[in-house]
Amino acid sequence: MILGGFIAAIIAALVILVNFFGSLNMFSDMASMGILPWIDRFFANINSKKIVFMLAVVVFVVGVVYYLIGRNRAKKKGEKVPFVPAALTKYFRDTRGEFKKVVWPTFPAVVRNTGVTLVVCALLGAAVCLVDFGLSALIDLLLKIGG
């Protein structure tokens, strides 16, 4: 419950911020006209961007409520509850540990692999063009015979 609420609140907050900064001129009008006329204008014409914004606000509120309820239940049980859920910190700690195990290729290996990839793409592109040309010629021939 704590983890789900925390993740929902964080994702919804990110969606709200992206939507907010994408519509900054609409939100900056609020300073000049006041909150109540701005709310009337905001809801006057509903579009998909506003619906996403309102849904993200609802998900954020629900996520925060679930997070707080989960923290409260855990504290009542006598558990120590960190601000960020332990499962999430463990996930990021494990991910960082796995990244330390990654063996990165050297620059010459990257150049060689890139060259091989480009050559294979060119050969496959040429093969597709040849097959397309052959099938087009075959269809033209069949149409001339049949027509």
| Whether residue 20 is found in the same domain as residue 88 | yes
- Between residues 114 and 81, which one has the greater pLDDT? 114
Q: Domain check: are 45 and 69 in the same one?
A: yes
Residues 6+ apart with CB under 8 A from 73: 1
Domain range enclosing 13: 2-101
Same-domain pairing of 68 and 27: yes
For residues 68 and 17, state if they share a domain: yes
Cβ-contact 29, 38 below 8 angstroms: yes
Q: Are residues 86 and 130 in the same domain?
A: no
CB 56 within 8 A of CB 15: yes
Span 25-78, pLDDT tens digits: 666 666 677 777 777 776 777 777 778 878 888 888 888 888 888 878 877 888
How many domains is the chain built from? 2
My answer on whether 9 and 64 are in the same domain is yes
Same domain, 110 and 43: no
On whether both 70 and 111 belong to a single domain, the answer is no
129 alpha-carbon distance from chain centroid: 35
- Statement to judge: residues 64 and 124 lie in one domain: no
For the stretch 97-144, pLDDT in tens is 999 999 989 999 999 999 999 999 999 999 999 999 999 999 999 999
Q: Are residues 87 and 147 in the same domain?
A: no
The b-or-e profile of 56-78 (16+ CB within 10 A means b, else e) is beebbeebbebbeebbeeeeeee
CA distance 88 to 83: 11
What pTM was computed for the model?
A: 0.46
SS3 category, 110: helix
Q: Are residues 45 and 113 in the same domain?
A: no
